[in-house]
Amino acid sequence: MNELIKEGEGRRTHIKSLLMRESLMDRKVLAASDAQEVLPILPDVHVVHIGGASILDRGKAALVPLLDEVVRCRQTYKILLGVGGGARMRHTYHIALDLGIPTGGLAMVAGAVNEQNRFMVQALLAKHGGVVLHKDHYVVLPLWMAAGMIPILSGMPPYHYWEPPTGDRRVPHYREDFGLFMVSEVLGAASMIYVKDEDGLYTADPKTNPDATFIPHITAQELLARNPPELIIDRSVIESMVFARNTRRIQIINGLKPELLGRALAGEPVGTVVTAPRDTTKEAADGC
Q: Answer whether residue 22 is part of any domain.
A: no
The residue ranking higher by pLDDT, 16 or 178, is: 178
Number of domains in the chain: 1
Residue 240 has pLDDT above 60, yes or no: yes
Q: Answer yes or no: are the C-beta atoms of 200 and 272 closer than 8 Å.
A: yes
Q: Answer whether residue 12 is part of any domain.
A: no
CATH code, domain carrying 158: 3.40.1160.10
Q: Which of 124-128, 251-255, 283-287 has the lowest mean pLDDT?
A: 283-287
Residue 285 has pLDDT above 50, yes or no: no
Please give the residue range of the domain that contains residue 93: 45-287
pLDDT in tens, 175-233: 999 999 999 999 999 999 999 999 999 999 898 998 999 999 999 999 999 999 889 99
Q: How far is it, in rounded angstroms, from Cα 15 to Cα 2?
A: 6
Q: Answer whether residue 29 is part of any domain.
A: no
- pLDDT bracket for residue 12 (50, 70, 90): low
Q: Answer whether residue 77 is part of any domain.
A: yes
The residue ranking higher by pLDDT, 49 or 20, is: 49
Q: Answer whether residue 109 is part of any domain.
A: yes
Q: Answer whether residue 122 is part of any domain.
A: yes
Residue 26 has pLDDT above 80, yes or no: no
Q: Answer whether residue 80 is part of any domain.
A: yes
Q: Answer whether residue 7 is part of any domain.
A: no
pTM: 0.88
